[in-house]
Chain A
Amino acid sequence: MSKLGLWGLKKSPWVYHVAAASCNNCDIEILELLTPRYDVERFGVVLVGSPRHADALLVTGVINRKSLPRVLEVYEQTAKPCLVIGIGTCTCNKHIFRNSYNAVGPYDKHLPVHAYIPGCPPKPEAMILGVVKALAKL
């Protein structure tokens, strides 16, 4: 990866939001994150509509037997290199759904995850911190 390209990736992470069997609480917080109040555009973060344009997949939700193949499909479609950032405690360790018959998490059993942001739901400030830390790791 060329140095210029890497610099570009750090300074301009375009995010795509994947909700896999989430209760939508984390999804609402992600929408709040993208409002003018938290101004993530100063980090270059832009919400894109297609996974092919994305550099960071913001995945939420305790992943489900039913949604697992779909999430893997979205991950395959995303143009590499891409980060995967798990938002919410459900992605880390299934949280309150740990004894469920349907939950197949945590995410890193199936996808390479670069950062987890715990919280139920995490505050937008925590999400910004997590994304910035994940980018610094690159």
Chain B
Amino acid sequence: MIGWTGWRLAFSFLVFPGFLFSAAIGLVLTWVDRFVSARVQYRKGPPLFQPLADLFKLLLKQTAVPRGASRTLFMLAPMLGLVAMCLTSVILFFANIYPEGSFVGDLIVLVYLFALPPLAIILGASASRNPLSAVGASREMTLYIGYELPFLLALLVPIIRSGGSIRLGELVAAQQAGGPFLYSFSGVIAAVIILLTIQAKLGYVPFDMAEAEQEIMSGVFIEYSGAMLAVYRLTRAMMMLLLPLFLITVLWGGFADWWAVLKFLLIVVLVVLIKNTNPRCRIDHALRFFWFGLGALGIVAVALAFVKL
């Protein structure tokens, strides 16, 4: 029988802070993205209900599976990313609301969970039986290998600064006691690295070469339509909520007070502004940038963190 704990878990996973809550706020954030992009381009932009209209429209469209494509993988791959993001939202929100409840190693778990949406994209694209989606999948794989290195190096900074702890609760507590890790040289560098990694994880310009619309006809998503495409977009919307929240939790003091909402919006607006002011990179440029540019910066940040700067 499902006991009280079971119902509480199901509620956390599905309603708050799980699927419904994160999806709703994520959809609002996609509207914020389109709104800021529109204003930067001197135009009005879509109305507030636009993400909802996109969602409902996608749910009514036909889902077509290409002949010869791997049917099961094609349909299941999008769900992988969605489930991972629901789980991430539970862990991340509870780490902020109830820091004593976090477990040792949940930072590592989050790194793995954030790796699942790109994996879902790669699996779905590989199952599509389309040469353009194969190109997109290989680009996404290369991009992932590229940005994961500086991402991990940047994550070493809060770990070192908090005295070697890999529990999110302890990171938040250490920041509430001694000030956010961002207010230091190593923190700033780590924040910049994680910000650019967020750009790549979300698949935003300048790192949207996996889904290049004009070049490879929406590469990874080329064969997806209808409800499955809605799941991918919803996953991206949830990532737009959870990735900046993750940055705030590990580097900027967590959701300690209501100023955190402004910090959060600042990060989202920065991501959108970077998206609007840059052209798309080539995949080898991106790889070199992440490994040798941001990777070197990451090593500098770790060194500075060791000497308590």
Contacts and interface: CB of A to CB of B under 8 A. Distances in A.
B229 A53 contact: yes
A93 to B, nearest CB: 31
Interface stretch (A39-47, A57-65, A126-134): A39-47
Contacts of B60: 1-2, 5-6, 8-9, 81
Contact of B57 (A8, A37, A49): A8
Interface residues of A, number: 27
Contacts of A9: 57, 60
Interface in B24-57: 34, 38, 41-47, 49-50, 52-57
Contacts of A53: 218, 221, 224-225, 229
A136 B212 CA distance: 32
Interface residues of B, number: 37
A111 B166 CA distance: 61
A4 interface: yes
Interface in B56-78: 56-64
B212 to A, nearest CB: 8
Given A5-B59, A42-B45, A44-B46, A50 B218 contact: yes
B285 to A, nearest CB: 21
B217 A50 contact: yes
Contacts of B214: 49
B43 A36 contact: yes
Contacts of B45: 39, 41-42
A36 B225 contact: no
Given A36-B42, A41-B43, A41-B46, A50 B56 contact: no
A37 to B, nearest CB: 8
Interface string A48-86: 111011010000000000000000000001011100000
B53 A47 contact: no
B54 A80 contact: no
B222 A49 contact: yes
Contacts of B38: 36, 39, 41
Given A47-B213, A48-B218, A8 B54 contact: yes
A97 interface: no
Nearest to B57: A8
Most buried by B among A2, A12, A77, A81: A12
B57 A79 contact: no
Given A2-B60, A7-B53, A50 B44 contact: no
B223 interface: yes
Contacts of A98: none
B206 interface: no
A99 B56 CA distance: 45
Contacts of B222: 49-50, 52
A80 B218 CA distance: 19
Given A1-B60, A5-B60, A12 B217 contact: no
A8 B64 CA distance: 20
B221 A50 contact: yes
Nearest to B34: A41
B53 A80 contact: no
Nearest to A82: B61
16 contacts: A2-B60, A8-B58, A11-B50, A11-B57, A36-B41, A36-B43, A41-B38, A42-B46, A48-B218, A49-B212, A50-B221, A52-B225, A52-B229, A53-B225, A79-B64, A81-B60
Interface of B: 34, 38, 41-47, 49-50, 52-64, 212-214, 216-218, 221-226, 229
Given A8-B57, A50-B221, 14 more contacts: A2-B60, A5-B60, A8-B54, A12-B53, A36-B38, A36-B41, A37-B43, A39-B38, A42-B44, A44-B53, A49-B212, A49-B218, A53-B218, A53-B225
Interface of A: 1-2, 4-9, 11-12, 36-37, 39, 41-42, 44, 47-50, 52-53, 55, 77, 79-81
